[in-house]
Every structure is written in structure tokens, then in C-alpha cells.
Chain A
Amino acid sequence: MFTQLLWWAGNAAEVLLLVRSVQGKFYRKYPTFYFYLGSVLLVTLLRFAVFTFRPGSYPALYWYTQYFAATIGYAVILEIYSQAFKKYRGAVRVANGLLLCILAAVILKIVAGAVSGSGWSPGETMAALERDLRALQAALLLVIIALLAYYKIPAGRNLTGIVVGYSFYVAASVVSVGFGSLPGFGPRPGWRSVLPITYLAALSIWCFTLWSYHPNPEPSSGSKIERDYKFLSEQTKRILSRARSYLKMGGEL
């Protein structure tokens, strides 16, 4: 009953988000993110249809669509990356370098696994593959968020919502899928509700932050000279005021 409630609430939130984006026409601003949401909704409805009419095919479909959902999640990361660093050419250079390092490390791990003949293998299990896909997403998000914080890149309400909601979901997925692959954890009903609850929480964050369009603040490139001037004039004013206070003290003495 509780799982069904979560399922219906999740679908309702997804529909609401998509309808709001069409009403406000801001699906054009974040096309990749809304493509992700639409795809997840379609997959959920497809699963529901198969579960109702052809229950025998459901387990296989579930794992294939789960893999699809994990893969399409990269679209959200792409959206975050392109929206956040669009106007920050310095920060994007660092981001590119670090993200390439992560991808190189992943490729190296795959090659090392293939050469040694043991360890990582894409066909091992679908759960392990999903776990690794989520782990890579977590690593990419980690780099992007760390750079956003380090370079003090201002994010608008919409982008903040996308980053917080998706990162929260991915962090929970990495831990949950990792532990869920253990023999003792997976079948527990409580454990199986963790991901739907987290996804519903992410959808709630998105509903709250993506209700209307809030663009990212513009970088202040044009006002550098003015800022420096402001700063210098403020400094001079302060020095003069200090000098004046010293003079006043001298007069009193």
C-alpha cells in the first residue's frame, strides 16, 4: 500500500513538473532535464502496463529500463554542467580537465579489468552495472559541485534545485544500490522503499524550485574597473578617516 502511494505520488509530481514547464515555457531553458523527466515518466508507465498485462515479462523489462534510467541520468549532469559553467570560461577549463581525468580513470579501470580477466565486467549483473553507473555520476557531480563552491559561481533557484535534487538522489542511490546488492539487504521491504522515498524527495525539491523560471545571475565581468575603483576609493576614504582620527587624538592631547 505504502509503495503504491509512493509510486502514484511520484508520477503525479512528474506530471505536475512537466505541465508547469509547458505552461511557463521554461522546458526550452532546461531541455535536457525535462527530457530526462519525460523519459522516466514514460518508463514508469511502460512498466505499469507490462506489469498489468504481461507480468511474466516484467522482471526482465524492469532491469533493462532501470539501466536505461541510470544512463539517461547523465542528461541531468550535462544540463547542470552546461547551465552552471556557460559564462565562466576559467572555471569550465578546470571542470573539463577534472572531468576528463575521471573519465580516463574509468576507462583505465575497464581496460585493467578486461586485461586481467577478473574484476569489473559489464555483464556481471545489471545491479552491479547500475551501481557503477551511479557511482560515476556521483563522482562527476562531486567535481561539478566542488567547482561551483570553490569558484563561487552563483546559481539561480532553478539550477540550485536541479543540482540539490539530483545529487541527493544519486548519493542515496549509490549507497542504496551498493548495499542492496548484498544478499541480506536486497529483499528487505524497508530497504526497497529507500530509493522511491529519495526520488519522491528529489521530485518535491524540483516542484518547489522549478515552479517558475529563475535564470542564473549574470557574471559581473563588465563592472571590474568600477569595482576596483569603488574598492580603492573606499580604502582611501578609510585611510583619510583614520588619519583624521589620529589628528583629533593629537589635538586632544
Chain B
Amino acid sequence: MSQLLPYLFLGLLLSAVLAWWVWDAIVHRGSAEVLAPQQPRSSVRSVGSQRDLGERIFGPQDWDFVSRETTSEIQRIFQRERTVLAIAWLRRMRLQVSQVMRAHVEAVQQSEDLRLATEIRLALSYFMFLFLCNSLIGWVWFRGPVRTRKIVRQTLQWTVQLRGVFEQLMASVDPASCGVARTNFNRGTVRN
């Protein structure tokens, strides 16, 4: 019976990937050439300032002040609101990186100079980032943002690394769109 498990796994995996592909095609039908709707709150902000914002959200300063100067009721409200803010910030981060990846795959899908090893490395770091980001959202929701700041710092470092790899790749395979993609990432918005 145990020798049949790989076949069962393979069949189920194929079904899952097929369902994902069909779902993705339905969701993104006809949107390949359409620009992403501009988010009213997406500001012209660099990755550096986003990182500052992240450090502020997850940093100990505000919490130290609130815990020192206010009542337990205010502390509870602060924790609750900071959790909502932290999750929104993480979701925005995830969206931006996903949009950058989308722009990348659209740019390189026809490129003859594409390098398999770099592509695999990039895909792995992207999926790792997604996994970490989703885990963080769950973790922040569960434990609050103050107790998770070390993990968040690691995520921010990965984001910067991902950006570095991405720019390197874009410069080698598609120099024309490299500048545009960099601008997109820095501005926090990318075409869909």
C-alpha cells in the first residue's frame, strides 16, 4: 500500500496545480494589458521609508511609552489597533512584491537570454517570502506585533535581498524595463 502513496500524491498534486491554473486564468482574464487601478492611499514612498514605517509599527518605542504612561484599557486598545495596522502593512508589502514578480515574469517570458538557475533562485526566494509573509500575518494576528518584531526585521532584510536579485536579473535579461521596474518598486505600485 505504501508504494502507491507517491502515485496518489502525484495525482492529487496535478489536480491541485490544474485547479490553481484554471482559477488564476479566470481571475486574471483580460487583465494582462490593463493597468492596475491606482490605490488612493499608495504614496510615493521609497522602500527605505516603508522599512522605517515597519520598524515604527513593530518597534518597542510606542509600546514602551503606552505601557508606562497609560491604563490597561488603553494598552489593550493600542495592541488591538497596532495589530490591525501591522497586518495591513504586511499585506501591502506582500502585494507590492507580488506585483513586482508579475511584472518580472511578463517581461522575461519572451526573453532569449533568460537563465534557468537565476530564475529558479528568484522563484524560490519569492515563494519563501510569500510563505514567511503569510506566516507573519498569522503570527501577528495570534500574538500581536510587539512580540514579533525580530521575525519582521528578518522579513524586511529578505525583501531587500529579493529586490537586489530582481534588479540584477532585470538588468541582465531586460535592461529596458529594469529602470521602470525599479521605479515601480520604489513607488510602491506596479502595473498589473
A133 to chain B, nearest CB (A): 12
Determine which of B38, B110, B116, B184 lies in contact with A94 in the assembled complex, contact meaning CB atoms within 8 Å.
B116
User: Size range of the interface on A?
Assistant: 35 or more
| Known pairs A90-B114, A151-B105, A151-B109 / 11 extra A-B pairs, C-beta < 8 Å | A87-B110, A90-B109, A90-B173, A135-B7, A145-B14, A146-B21, A152-B109, A174-B10, A174-B14, A175-B7, A231-B35
B105 near A171: Cβ-Cβ < 8 Å:
no
Residues on B facing A (Cβ under 8 Å): 1, 4, 6-8, 10-15, 17-18, 20-22, 24-25, 28, 32-33, 35, 38, 43-44, 102, 105-106, 108-112, 114, 116, 119, 123, 173, 176-177, 180, 183-184, 187, 189, 191
Please report the C-alpha to C-alpha distance between residue A146 and residue B24 in the assembled complex, in whole angstroms.
Answer: 11
Q: Are B109 and A153 in contact (CB under 8 A)?
A: yes
Interface residues of A in 92-116 (CB under 8 A from B): 93-94, 97
Does B109 lie within 8 Å of A231, measured CB to CB? Answer: no
Q: 15 interchain pairs (CB within 8 A)?
A: A87-B110, A90-B111, A90-B173, A145-B21, A146-B21, A148-B21, A150-B123, A160-B22, A168-B18, A171-B15, A177-B7, A178-B4, A178-B7, A220-B32, A228-B176
Q: 3 closest A-B pairs (Cβ-Cβ)?
A: A178-B7, A175-B11, A90-B111
Q: Which residue of A lies closest to B180 (CB)?
A: A228
Cβ–Cβ contact A152 & B102, under 8 A: yes
Rounded to whole angstroms, the CA-CA distance of A172 and B6 in the bound complex is 14
| Identity of the chain A residue whose Cβ is nearest the Cβ of B187 in the assembled complex | A235
Contact, CB under 8 Å: A175 / B105: no
Alpha-carbon separation in the docked complex, A30 to B131 (Å): 39
Where chain A touches its partner, the secondary structure class is: helix
Residues of B within 8 A of A43 (CB): none
Secondary structure type dominating chain B contacts: helix
Whole-angstrom distance between the Cβ of B71 and the nearest chain A Cβ: 34
Q: Known A90-B111, A138-B14; judge A179-B106 contact (CB<8 A).
A: no
Contact among A171, A224, A235 with B14 in the assembled complex (CB-CB below 8 Å)? A171
Q: Is the beta-carbon distance between A90 and B35 smaller than 8 angstroms? A: no
Scan residues 160-205 of chain A and give those whose CB is less than 8 A from a CB of chain B. Answer: 160, 163-164, 167-168, 170-172, 174-175, 177-179, 181-182
B17–A142 touching, CB < 8 Å: yes
- Taken residue by residue from 209 to 253, chain A's Cβ proximity to chain B (1 for < 8 Å, 0 otherwise) reads as 000000001011101110110111011001100100000000000
Residue of B nearest to A160 (CB): B25
| Residue in B11, B116, B177 whose beta carbon sits within 8 Å of that of A174 in the complex | B11
The verdict on A63 contacting chain B, using a C-beta distance below 8 Å, is no
Closest chain-B Cβ to A203's Cβ sits at a distance in Å of 17
Distance in angstroms between the alpha carbons of A98 and B1 in the assembled complex: 30
The answer to the question of A37 belonging to the interface, with a C-beta cut-off of 8 Å to chain B, is: no
Distance of A132 from chain B, by nearest CB (Å): 9
Q: Which of A91, A217, A238 contacts B38 (CB 8 A)?
A: A238
In the assembly, what is the distance between CA of A235 and CA of B16, in Å?
38
Report chain A residues within 8 Å CB of B177. Answer: 224, 228
Q: Are the C-beta atoms of A142 and B21 separated by less than 8 Å?
A: no
Query: Looking at the complex, which one of A94, A225, A228 makes contact with B114 (CB distance below 8 Å)?
Result: A94
Residues of B with C-beta under 8 A to A242: 43-44
Q: Closest approach, in angstroms, between the C-beta of A201 and any C-beta of chain B? A: 13
- Which residues of chain A have C-beta atoms less than 8 A from B123's C-beta? 150
Beta-carbon contact of A182 and B22 below 8 Å: no
CA of A220 to CA of B105 in the docked complex: distance in angstroms? Answer: 13
Q: Is the CB of A150 within 8 A of B17?
A: no
Separation of A152 and B28 alpha carbons in the complex (Å): 9
CB atoms of A239 and B191 under 8 A apart: no
B11 touches A164 (CB 8 A): no
**Beta-carbon contact of A221 and B114 below 8 Å:** no
Known contacts A94-B116, A138-B11, A231-B180: does B17 contact A149 (CB below 8 Å)? yes
Chain B residues near A97: list those with CB within 8 A.
116
**B43 CB to closest chain A CB, in angstroms?**
8
How far is it, in angstroms, between the C-alpha of A127 and the C-alpha of B110 when the chains are bound?
A: 41
**Contact B14 A170, beta carbon cutoff 8 Å:** yes
Question: How far is it, in angstroms, between the C-alpha of A94 and the C-alpha of B121 when the chains are bound?
Answer: 12
Question: Cβ of A90 and Cβ of B112 under 8 Å apart?
Answer: yes
